[in-house]
Structure formats: structure tokens, C-alpha cells
Chains A and B, each alone.
Chain A
Amino acid sequence: MQALLFAGCTISNRLPFLEKSARLVFKDLGIEFIDAPFTCCPDPVGVQAISEKTWLTLGARNLCLAEQEKKKIISLCNGCSETLIGVKSCLDHDKESLNEVKKVLSKKGYDYKGTSETFHFIRSLIEDVGIGKIKEKVKRPLKGLKCATHTGCHYMRPSDWIKWDDPLEPKYLDVLVNAVGAEALDYEEKMLCCGAGVDRTNNEVGLEVAHRKYKGATEADANCLVVNCPACFQQFENTQRDVSKKYEEKYKIPVFYITELIALAFGYNPEDLGLRYHRNRPKKLLKSIGIEDPQ
């Protein structure tokens, strides 16, 4: 069945190369999709903190549009999937909010029904596509990539809303990493947040969160970080320099989106995926495992 692909504004308007790899991988795996007819989820951290009502209402408007299409939403982002699932769950359980939201939306001709379904793309890859099919498509196993995997918090929490994987010990990302021939590592601070949430108001604490992450990954001998959320991706891309300076340690660990790894394993080259847009360039690391752009 056709799905609605929802990249979200962080990916589409800031990190479009992540979208590129996702589109290639989904096509190769036979996931049929069209673009979702909305752009901003809105963010479960920033917008919800200022106005829960705005968060609920704009989220519900997006869900109305998806209901009209009668298609499942596949989200490329932790924040977007949490919002769309969280909004639905809140409205399912809270009559008072539901009535308020319905009242506002009806003025714009919407009738919120509560029939939408949203999957994080990781869930689609594991539960809809299946690991067997992914393994079949692997042309070059990524042997030699030692991955400090990081799902990010809003991928699987709160479990009141989100009903897949495990809220405290998620497995799906590691399964995907191993399926493409790379190695998912256990490391100290594997479950630690990326720190983006607190970084907005307390940079010192935000940097210490990131520092612990890099230290744990390095001590476990990781040569890259692997994520499935654009906010975590940005946090890890953008804070390594500041952390290195502040702590007088040297971190320059390439960060990959899981769809980038899958695409590389499926035979796409760094250039096809726009890996040159990464801040912590993965070129040397990929070369060391035999992946280079053709001359």
C-alpha cells in the first residue's frame, strides 16, 4: 500500500542529503510513497513547550490531511513521528482537548476523525519490509564500520504513545546496522540523550552530554556514530568541535544516518548521497573499507 513520506522541515530544509538516501533506499525496497501534503509537524520540544494547544492543533491538522489521503505516514524524523503519534494519542484519551481542537479546525473545514497511522521509518524497515529483504539487497557489506548507534529519545519514548521497539533498550537500529554488514557496538552512554533539548537553554550542560557520548563511543573503539533522527544528527555534527576545544580532547567522528549506510551497502556511492555535505567528513573512513567515488 502506498504511504505518505514525511521528511519534516529539519531534513527537507536543512539536511536534504538525508532525504536523498532515504528515498533511494525506500525505492529499492519497494516501499511505495508520495509526499505528505504538509511540512511542519510541529516540533514536540520547542513548540509544545510554548503552547501545547498549538502543538495539538497543528499536529491534528496534519493528521486530517493524512486521513483524507487514507494513507499511512512514514516519518523520517524522531520529532515528527513523536508529534504525530503523540497528538493522536492525546486526542484519543482527552475529550476536552479533542473538542477544543475539533472546534478550531472545523472553522477551516476540517473534520478530525482520529484514524491516522504514523510509523517511524525504522519501524517500517523492520516491520513492513523485513530484515531478510534488506539483507538480500546488500551488494557490499560495510565490514570494518564500528558503529556507536544512537536512536535518540523521541524514537521510542514515551512508550505511552509509541508502541514499537523497547523504550529503554531499543534494538531495531542495531539490527539494521548489523544487517548491512557493519557492527553495532555496545558502549558506555549508549542510551544517553544527544543533549539537543537542554542545549537551547544551557549550553554547558548540553556540551557535557555530548562529551560523554563521544567519550563512550571512542572508548568502545567506534569509528562512526549512527543515528535515525535529524536533531541528533545535527547535534553530533555541530558540537564535536566545541567539545574538543572545551575538554582538550580530539573528536572528529563521522556521523551517519542509517539510511546512508543502507544506501552505501546497496551499492550507491558517496557522491550519489551527498556525503560531501557532512561536516565531519566520512571520506577517509569509507576509503579504509574500500568505498570511494569512481574517478
Chain B
Amino acid sequence: MVQEINFDFRKKILDKHISSTISYCYQCTSCTSACPIADITDGKYNPRKLIINALLGLTEKIFVDKDPSVWDCTQCCTCDEICPQHVKLTEIFAFIKNQFAERHEAPEGFLGEARAVYENGLAIPMQSAIKRRRDSLGLSDPPEFDYDELKDIMKMIGLDKLVKKVDKEDNAEGEN
């Protein structure tokens, strides 16, 4: 099957100051050999393939077929250490994940945490049962923080739009 090249995506990933290391990849497969998830999934997940898909701008494979899926990476950063070309793989994967979020297609397991940060100013809000545990251990309350300030900052960055719940309908027209 012919895969379309998304030149816009290619330009972004090659331009992006950090992920520009992607162009040094010579497909040696060291990353995949060291990757625990490639091992567990018998190669179904494969960081080398993700890198070549990104480098060539094969966005359909990355975002639609998810072959392989960037969300299967457990972010252990072993590949970053192993790569002989110093390709910053996990930085590149973070860029790809951010693109998923822009498309409103990031999985809830990740999005939910970002939403919690947006709504509460922290990923794990205090609960009354934990507060009681702290008391029983003689621990004082955690430091206070200025949520309104954090919220303003997150809005300036546009996190509010990224974490908003989007209907599937709206979602479809945002493709590409």
C-alpha cells in the first residue's frame, strides 16, 4: 500500500530543536534490541520503526494505524542511552505524543492526568482519608500553592484546550 508523506509533519520534526537528532538515525536497530517492550511484544512495538515513520513523515502509520503505537513505550529511556547516534528517541516520542494531544486523540490514561493538573494544580489532589493518615503520622499539611496563578499560566499555554473533552464528531474533521 502506498503511504502518503506528510511534509508538514516532516518539517516540524526536523526543525524542532530537540528532535532534530532524528536525522542521525541509520536504522541500526540497537534501540529495538535493548527495548523491554519490543521484547515483551515480540517486536510488535518497535522504536526503530517509529523513528523511521517519523523521519519519513508517514503520519498515517503513526497516528491512524498506530503501527507501532507510540503509547506502548514505557518511557524507560534505555534506548536513549544505547543509541550510537545519540538520537534522543524519547524526546521525539514526546513530540509525537503532543501531536496526538493536538489532534484530541491522546489516550485517557495520559490525558486524564494532564486534566487533573489543569483542574487542581497538581496531578494527585489530597483526599480526606490521606489527610487523616498524615495526621496520624504527625505530618503537617503539604505546602499551599497558588492555584489561580497556575491556572492562568496553563491557560496562557493553551492547556485548557488540550484537556477539554471533545466529541468524536468534532474530532473527525480535525484529521490531518
A positions within 8 Å CB-CB of B: 7, 9-10, 12-14, 16-17, 19-20, 23, 35-40, 42-43, 45-54, 57-58, 61, 90, 94, 96-97, 104-105, 107-108, 153-154, 157-160, 167-168, 191-193, 195-202, 205-206, 208-209, 212, 274, 277
Cβ-neighbour of A50 out of B18, B69, B101, B137 (below 8 A): B101
* Complex Cα spacing A36 to B162, Å: 29
Q: Does B52 touch A at the CB level, under 8 Å? A: no
B97 — which chain A residues lie within 8 A by C-beta?
49-50
Inter-subunit contact B133/A42 (CB<8 Å): no
Q: Range of interface residues on chain B?
A: 35 or more
Supposing A46-B110, A50-B106, A205-B40 touch, asked if A16 and B130 sit within 8 A by C-beta, the answer is yes
Cβ-neighbour of A51 out of B122, B143, B157 (below 8 A): B157
The 7 closest A-B pairs by CB, nearest first: A200-B109, A46-B113, A40-B122, A197-B74, A198-B74, A157-B77, A50-B114
Supposing A13-B142, A96-B17, A208-B40 touch, asked if A61 and B153 sit within 8 A by C-beta, the answer is yes
* Complex Cα spacing A61 to B151, Å: 12
Inter-subunit contact A49/B153 (CB<8 Å): no
A23 — which chain B residues lie within 8 A by C-beta?
139
Cβ-neighbour of A160 out of B71, B80, B94 (below 8 A): B80
Supposing A16-B133, A104-B157, A108-B152 touch, asked if A198 and B72 sit within 8 A by C-beta, the answer is yes
Count, A-B residue pairs, CB within 8 A: 189
* Complex Cα spacing A52 to B19, Å: 12
A277 — which chain B residues lie within 8 A by C-beta?
133
Inter-subunit contact A49/B130 (CB<8 Å): no
Inter-subunit contact A105/B153 (CB<8 Å): yes
B68 to nearest A CB, angstroms?
11
Cβ-neighbour of A47 out of B18, B71, B75, B123 (below 8 A): B123
Inter-subunit contact A40/B156 (CB<8 Å): no
Inter-subunit contact B143/A108 (CB<8 Å): no
B158 — which chain A residues lie within 8 A by C-beta?
51, 53
Supposing A17-B137, A36-B143, A167-B81 touch, asked if A54 and B75 sit within 8 A by C-beta, the answer is no
A48 — which chain B residues lie within 8 A by C-beta?
94
Inter-subunit contact B72/A201 (CB<8 Å): yes
Inter-subunit contact B17/A13 (CB<8 Å): no
B98 to nearest A CB, angstroms?
6
Supposing A46-B110, A52-B95, A201-B110 touch, asked if A107 and B123 sit within 8 A by C-beta, the answer is no
B74 — which chain A residues lie within 8 A by C-beta?
193, 195-199, 205-206, 209
Q: Does B25 touch A at the CB level, under 8 Å? A: no
Inter-subunit contact A50/B110 (CB<8 Å): yes
* Complex Cα spacing A46 to B122, Å: 12
A133 to nearest B CB, angstroms?
25
Cβ-neighbour of A49 out of B94, B122, B137, B154 (below 8 A): B94
